[in-house]
């Protein structure tokens, strides 16, 4: 079997457990799923094989680390090979479906990996790989052609359920509204970068496209109408400060001096409505008053955020190029 045989689900979804579950919870979920689907207990043999394969992907720590690195239920593979064994593939990789907000997500990957200057099956248009894909010493073909890398991860010992759901929603927004029209874009989630004495802190998301890097933060707010004064969001007399992207942007700009670094904040309402919340611009404060001065555009709802992000990335001179050296360095900063 291959990840494509999971039917667009992640291994965690097949087992019925969250992606941050510990090994005990994961094993218990596997046993329940195996008993439910086993033919001897009235289950479906095909579904039992899928459950068994999902457990093979994440059942032991080493396999789970490899799987989580791409966090892909339908990850890109070398043509004609199975992602785990290197043997014959059972079918082409498939695009993922969009799961509910509290479920693990799956990555969108290319349907075929092209050489430099050739057409690529991800979205429309032509992708140029620099250096060419046959130079695998830089980065292997599968990760070079995969559009989403990494996943929201727990930090420290404190509960992080709300943050993980928020980050997963942000990933789905980029996956749904940005990546299909930008086939050369690569989204990397969960980074920590150190450059000299500079530390980026934890970076939720970075989107690489050519020589442009977009640092993405997110904020989940109650529905309603908000006012952006140039530094903070207001709903009536309630004040909401956007996440500070300054440390991450400064560290990335120092580490990647030949890139143009931008900062964007996605503001999401309680529902998956790309038009909400409504944010009115009323810049009564100087951007020098806060770290908001680092932002390329004001915080925005999913629809406007996606437009701003595509404008920033798409107007770059290398928007159809995947720089594999830059991507490899970002992947090396995954925590």
pLDDT at position 106 is 35
End-to-end CA distance of the chain: 29
- Which of 65, 98, 131 is the last residue before a domain boundary? 98
What are the contacts of 137-143 at 24+ separation with CB within 8 A? 138/324, 138/325, 138/328, 139/324, 139/325, 139/327, 139/328, 139/331, 140/78, 141/76, 141/78, 141/113, 142/70, 142/75, 142/76, 142/77, 142/78, 142/83, 142/113, 143/70, 143/76, 143/327, 143/331
pLDDT at position 19 is 72
Domain count, the chain: 2
Which is more confidently placed, 213 or 156? 213
The pLDDT of 49-59, averaged and rounded, is 87
Other Cβ atoms less than 10 A from the Cβ of 213: the count is 25
**Across 83-97, 126-140, 178-192, which has the greatest mean pLDDT?**
178-192
Lowest mean pLDDT among 62-76, 164-178, 189-203: 62-76
Q: How far is 149 from 292, CA to CA, in rounded Å?
A: 27
Do 219 and 193 share a domain, yes or no?
A: yes
CATH number of the domain within which 45 lies: 1.10.287.110
Do 80 and 127 share a domain, yes or no?
A: no
- Which of 52, 70, 98 is the last residue before a domain boundary? 98
Q: How far is 240 from 227, CA to CA, in rounded Å?
A: 10
Classify each residue of 36-68 as buried b or exposed e, where b means 16 or more C-beta atoms within 10 Å of its C-beta: ebbeeeebeeebbebbbbbbebbbeeeebeebb
Q: How far is 174 from 53, CA to CA, in rounded Å?
A: 29
Do 94 and 137 share a domain, yes or no?
A: no
For 236-269, write each residue's pLDDT tens digit: 999 999 999 999 999 999 999 999 999 999 999 9
Residue 275 lies in a domain: yes
Do 6 and 128 share a domain, yes or no?
A: no
Beta strands across the sheet bearing 225-228: 238-240, 233-235, 225-228, 278-281
Residue 103 lies in a domain: no
Residue 83 lies in a domain: yes
Residue 84 lies in a domain: yes
At residue 120, does pLDDT exceed 60? no
Lowest mean pLDDT among 84-93, 272-281, 297-306, 321-330: 84-93
Do 279 and 236 share a domain, yes or no?
A: yes
At residue 101, does pLDDT exceed 60? no
Q: Between β-strands 233-235 and 128-130, what pairing exists: parallel, antiparallel or unpaired?
A: unpaired
Q: At 291, is the secondary structure helix, strand, or coil?
A: helix
**Across 54-68, 184-198, 265-279, 280-294, which has the greatest mean pLDDT?**
265-279
Lowest mean pLDDT among 14-28, 116-130, 222-236, 304-318: 116-130
In the chain, pLDDT over 90 holds for what percent of residues? 45
Do 122 and 60 share a domain, yes or no?
A: no
Q: Please give the residue range of the domain that contains residue 4.
A: 1-98
Residue 89 lies in a domain: yes
Q: How far is 96 from 195, CA to CA, in rounded Å?
A: 35
Q: How far is 16 from 106, CA to CA, in rounded Å?
A: 14
Average pLDDT, the chain: 79
Do 230 and 286 touch, CB atoms closer than 8 A?
yes
Do 148 and 253 share a domain, yes or no?
A: yes
Beta bridge partners of 267: 219
Do 156 and 194 share a domain, yes or no?
A: yes
In terms of Cα–Cα distance, which of 157, 155, 185 is closest to 171?
A: 185
Give me 310's structure tokens: 């595509």
Give me 69's structure tokens: 């690195």
- Which of 45, 75, 98 is the last residue before a domain boundary? 98
The pLDDT of 203-231, averaged and rounded, is 95
At residue 81, does pLDDT exceed 80? no
Do 228 and 278 touch, CB atoms closer than 8 A?
no
Residue 88 lies in a domain: yes
At residue 70, does pLDDT exceed 70? no
Residue 286 lies in a domain: yes
Q: How far is 261 from 294, CA to CA, in rounded Å?
A: 10
Which DSSP string corresponds to 151-183? -----SSS--HHHHHHHHHHHHHHHHHTGGG-T
Which is more confidently placed, 198 or 325? 325
Confidence class of residue 214 from pLDDT cuts 50, 70 and 90? Answer: very high
Lowest mean pLDDT among 89-103, 188-202, 259-273, 285-299: 89-103
At residue 78, does pLDDT exceed 50? no
Do 117 and 72 share a domain, yes or no?
A: no
Do 197 and 159 share a domain, yes or no?
A: yes
Do 222 and 79 share a domain, yes or no?
A: no
Do 146 and 188 share a domain, yes or no?
A: yes
Residue 160 lies in a domain: yes
């Amino acid at each position: 079997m291959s990840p494509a045989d999971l039917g667009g689900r992640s291994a965690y979804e097949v087992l019925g457990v969250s992606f941050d579950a510990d090994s005990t919870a994961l094993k218990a979920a596997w046993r329940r799923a195996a008993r439910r689907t086993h033919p001897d207990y009235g289950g479906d043999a095909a579904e039992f094989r899928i459950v068994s394969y999902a457990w093979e992907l994440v059942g032991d720590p080493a396999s789970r680390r490899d799987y989580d690195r791409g966090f892909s239920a339908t990850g890109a593979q070398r043509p004609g090979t199975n992602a785990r064994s290197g043997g014959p593939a059972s079918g082409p990789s498939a695009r993922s479906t969009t799961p509910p907000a509290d479920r693990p997500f799956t990555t969108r990957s290319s349907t075929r990996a092209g050489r430099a200057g050739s057409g690529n099956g991800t979205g429309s248009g032509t992708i140029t790989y620099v250096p060419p894909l046959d130079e695998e010493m830089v980065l292997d073909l599968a990760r070079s052609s995969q559009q989403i890398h990494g996943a929201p991860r727990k930090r420290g010992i404190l509960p992080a359920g709300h943050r993980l759901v928020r980050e997963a929603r942000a990933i789905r927004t980029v996956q749904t509204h940005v990546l299909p029209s930008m086939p050369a874009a690569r989204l990397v989630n969960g980074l920590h970068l150190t450059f000299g004495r500079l530390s980026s802190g934890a970076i939720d998301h970075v989107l690489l496209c050519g020589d442009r890097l977009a640092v993405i933060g997110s904020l989940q707010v109650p529905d309603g109408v908000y006012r952006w004064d140039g530094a903070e969001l207001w709903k009536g007399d309630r004040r909401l400060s956007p996440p500070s992207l300054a440390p991450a942007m400064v560290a990335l700009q120092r580490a990647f001096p030949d890139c143009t670094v931008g900062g964007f904040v996605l503001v999401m309402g309680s529902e998956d409505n790309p038009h909400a919340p409504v944010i009115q611009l009323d810049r009564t404060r100087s951007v020098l008053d806060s770290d908001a001065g680092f932002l390329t555009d004001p915080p925005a709802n999913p629809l406007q955020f996606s437009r701003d992000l595509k404008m920033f990335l798409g107007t770059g001179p290398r928007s159809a190029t995947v720089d594999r050296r830059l991507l490899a360095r970002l992947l090396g900063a995954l925590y």
